[in-house]
Structure 1
Amino acid sequence: MGLTTKILIAMLLGIVVGVLFNFLNASQLLGSGVTEAINGYLTEGLFDIVGRIFIASLKLMVVPLVLVSLVCGACALSEGHRIGPLAGKTVLLYLLTTAAAISLALAMALIIQPGVGVDVAPGGAFEAKESPPLSDVLVNIFPTNPVAAMAQGNMLQIIVFALLMGYAISRCGEPGRRVAAFFNDLNEVILRMVGVLMVFAPYGVFALLAKTFATLGVEFILDLGKYFLVVLGTLLLHALGVYSLLLKLLSGLNPIELIKKMRPAMVFAFSTASSAATLPVTLSTVEKRLGVDNKVAAFTIPLGATINMDGTAIMQGVATAFIAQMYGIEIGLMGYLTVILTATLASVGTAGVPGVGLIMLAMVLQQVGLPLEGIAIVMGVDRLLDMVRTAVNITGDSVVSAIVAKSEGALSEETFYDRNYESVANGRGAAAAQ
């Protein structure tokens, strides 16, 4: 059985077990003692521990993978003087897809109007963290201490340091070639470590989803069903429609092939709800299944995991219109244009801040004068939507990587259209485990 199939089965089993446990907790069919045992030893015990260890092991790989991959990529790009054009195309495409995502979300929310008729009864207070000023964001992109940046997981600073180091290595002659060879070897070792971790992925995915659904259940979706369906529908439309159109128009590649090849990374992103935790899987999939050269993927994927938040932008657009409709506040055309601009820029500006989705939403609501209390209402269904939008985010990263790689002549179409990859990948996975 292939790794992707195992992960899909684990995901379905996790959802079923979680919903079953939630039903047993709510109905008290087994008595309070058994229910407490299930919650204590399984939901908050075994599932929680396995899930947290799994996420921690994935995050363990993020900083070394980003640093080493970017240094290798910058070395190769700098030798051909292509790092400037590649960076420009990548950032421009990420901003374009984010602006398209927020515009689509607002259009869907204005047409369907999910907030009309909803009773304003916030489920709890929400304290918005203060968003950093734009000047601080720009200054903080550049590290004063690269070791501290790596210790804190500050991805933007790590990216800047790695690009500078890669550029310097490519300009150092023979000493630079020796250092570059070391980083290339180190990159192979780190990718093998990722392969070893992937063997345990189904167990981590099962534990994460079982705990999530045992804690939240299914009924929490019903309270905000219309809002939930609008966000979910827009996410799917953006992932399957907008990305497919962009890929076909700008590269001529087949979108269906890309979606098929990215399936393992999408499933992973859905189960972890973290672009950073999924980054090792995304990078490996884009390189080995889509055929994107490492020198391009090593730049576009870490950057996308840091600044490309199309899924989050869609949530902001629908949530803003939903809250405005719910409170009966008309923000007008200029208000919605402000939402588009603010959300697009915020996707870059708040990339390194914990809880980025809700902070970005707070920034958007403040810009158009909507009450922040509305965030407490949409928080109830945010966890499951967060899982979907993370899958959308990493799909966007892969599409931009493929487009940029094709334009740079750094994409192997033979690998992109190779449908026999699954068996090869499974063989590699088994070898990595051994």
Structure 2
Amino acid sequence: MHNLSDLIMTTSRFLSLFFRGSLVKRIIIGLVLGVLVALISPNLESTLGFNLAEKVGILGSLFVKGLRAVAPILIFVLVIAAIANRRVGTKSNMKDIVLLYILGTFGASVIAVFASFAFPMHIPLSTAADSISPPGSVADVFTVVISNIFSNPVDALATSNFIGILAWAIALGMTLRHAADTTKNVFNDFAEAVSKVVHLVISLAPFGIFGLVASTLADKGLSALWNYGHLLLVLIGSMLFVALVLNPMIVYWKIRRNPYPLVWQCISVSGLTAFFTRSSAANIPVNIDLAKKLNLDEETYSVSIPLGATINMAGAAITITILTLAAVQTLGVVVSIPTAILLSVVSAICACGASGVAGGSLLLIPLACSLFGISAEVAAQVIAVGFVIGVLQDSAETALNSSTDVLFTAAVCMAEENKNNG
């Protein structure tokens, strides 16, 4: 009886690891336990005829279904709320900052396309190759996009037509900019409610990762871990290239002098903090303090930095592009570079809506996948893969996004100051 009590107590403490502490630590625990179950499962099956990895795999399947369920409504309400509440009439040089935000985000996704072609990736997915309908050319992609844009909004939500969802959300958001504040508040509250549901689903990620890793590794072997490592290297490598090459080039274009002192200052102060907080919104005060130290115009950075936390999403664009193209390459879908570049446009648009949501960039992957005929079910599996590597991926992504907010703000302010002094 005493031994049974000790066993129950030990099991209770063990299960509490999945519910308490930071999500990152719990995902790591789920990942490690999944690997252990995959290792012992063959022995259990040979001796007891019980496939443990297959049984716990149901947790991964449920997690994927949960992600698939929340993604369409999440995109719909967040985009409507964001556009409807966008402030207008800000200072004139905000146009230059927004231009840099858009240029940086689009440039990052283009770099991700070339990185994906230079270092092809394969990730564990469960699907039939003949279920994929790849686009034949750039014209085919345009045809699919235009056709999906004019879909019925209810049908778009029901069938996970993410292009149609995005189109209707933008149209409604633009229209609602002229609505009463009470109406806008309703959409804000609705977006907040959906975000809380998403947080609930994300909180179950340790269980989902546990089941996915166990079933995947038991089926495909430990060699599948290399695919995760390869994917992570391409992701972080692309982000480093943007931070240390692309961004300095953009800054030099604006200030016409060595950009690296400013780049290093932004990375060491803003990027380092954001890496550990993993939240662009939480890092806004850090960026504002840095802007003060750089003697930037307060009327500018008080608007541009919070705005950047919403629309300046180079890291998110890289994540969406690389994970989508990894799925494309895994499924054997043949696409040309020009066709893939179209993904950059979609990634840049998607990334602007990734702010403020846990795993936001991952949850927007289905929208990009839909361009290549990849079903929402497979796209949800790609999201789950993203959570496996998310411990480092999300930290690096946030560091790039947040440090670039203050970097581009500083570049425009310095360029304006040089212009006035000249």
Is the shorter-chain TM-score for this pair beyond 0.5, marking a shared fold? yes
Q: TM-score, normalised by structure 1?
A: 0.56
SS of alignment partner, residue 408 of structure 1 = helix
2:233 aligned with 1:229, yes or no?
yes
What is aligned with 1:97? 104
Displacement of 1:363 in angstroms is 1.0
1:408 aligns with 2:416: yes
Give me the whole-angstrom Cα distance separating, in 2, the residues matched to 1:284 and 1:352: 21
326, 332, 338: which one pairs with 2:342? 338
Pick aligned residue for 1:297 from 295, 301, 304:
301
| 1:255 and 2:260 aligned | yes
2:401 counterpart residue number? 393
1:310–1:392: 8 Å Cα contact kept in structure 2?
yes
Structure 1 pair 262–39 and aligned structure 2 pair: CA distance change class (3 A) = farther
Distance apart, 1:275 and its partner CA: 1.1
Write out per-residue CA displacement over residues 140-174 of structure 1, whole angstroms, 9 at most, x where no aligned residue: 5566327838974989xxxxxxxxxxxxxxxxxxx
User: Given the alignment of the two structures, is residue 366 of structure 1 paired with residue 370 of structure 2, yes or no?
Assistant: yes
Could you tell me which residue of structure 1 aligns to residue 281 of structure 2?
276
Unpaired segments ≥5 residues, structure 2 = 1-5, 27-85, 128-158, 193-204, 214-221
Partner SS, residue 269 of structure 2: helix
Partner Cα separation in structure 2 for residue 402 and residue 345 of structure 1: 24
The answer as to whether partners of 2:254 and 2:412 remain within 8 angstroms in 1 is no
RMSD: 4.0
Matches of 1:261 and 1:351, distance apart in 2: 20
Q: Deviations over 1:312-355 (max 9, x none)?
A: 00111211221111000012234212201212233335657775
**Residue of structure 1 in register with 2:118 after alignment:** 111
The answer as to 2:343 corresponding to 1:306 is no
1:324 aligns with 2:328: yes
Residue in structure 2 matching 1:264, options 266, 269, 291: 269
Q: CA deviation at 1:36?
A: 4.8
In structure 1, the partner of 2:44 is none
Other structure's SS at 2:304 match: helix
Aligned CA distance change for structure 1 residues 149 and 306 (closer, same or farther; 3 Å): farther
- Contact preservation (8 Å) 2:266, 2:407: no
2:404 partner amino acid? G
CA contact (8 A) 2:277 2:283 kept: yes
Cα distance in 2 for residues equivalent to 1:119 and 1:258: 37
Structure-2 change in CA distance of 1:396 and 1:140 (3 Å): farther
Distance 1:104 1:261, change over 3 A: closer
Structure 1 residues 381 and 278, CA gap change in structure 2 (3 angstroms): same
Moved more, 254-263 or 225-234: 254-263
Q: Distance in 2 between matches of 1:95 and 1:108?
A: 20
Letter in 2 for 1:278: N
Aligned partner letter, 1:264: V
User: Separation in 2 of the partners of 1:333 and 1:261?
Assistant: 33
Q: Tell me the TM-score normalised to structure 2 length.
A: 0.58
Structure 1 position 45, deviation (Å): 4.0
- The SS at the match of 1:330 is coil
Write out per-residue CA displacement over residues 225-266 of structure 1, whole angstroms, 9 at most, x where no aligned residue. Answer: 111110011111111211122223321254234423542322
Identity %: 21
* 2:247 counterpart of 1:238: no
Give the letter aligned to residue 111 of structure 2: L
- Aligned partners of 1:114 and 1:322 also within 8 Å: yes
Tell me which moved more, 257-266 or 236-245.
257-266
Whole-Å separation in 2 of the counterparts to 1:33 and 1:361: 41
Following superposition of structure 1 onto structure 2, how do residues 102-181 of structure 1 map, counting pairs within 5 Å? 102-115=109-122, 118-121=123-126, 131-132=165-166, 133=168, 134-140=170-176, 144-145=180-181, 148=185, 152=189
Q: How many residues align?
A: 288
Structure 1 unaligned residues grouped into runs of 5+: 1-29, 52-69, 156-210, 414-434
Per-residue deviation, 1:106:
0.6
TM-superposed CA distance for 1:289, in Å, is 2.9
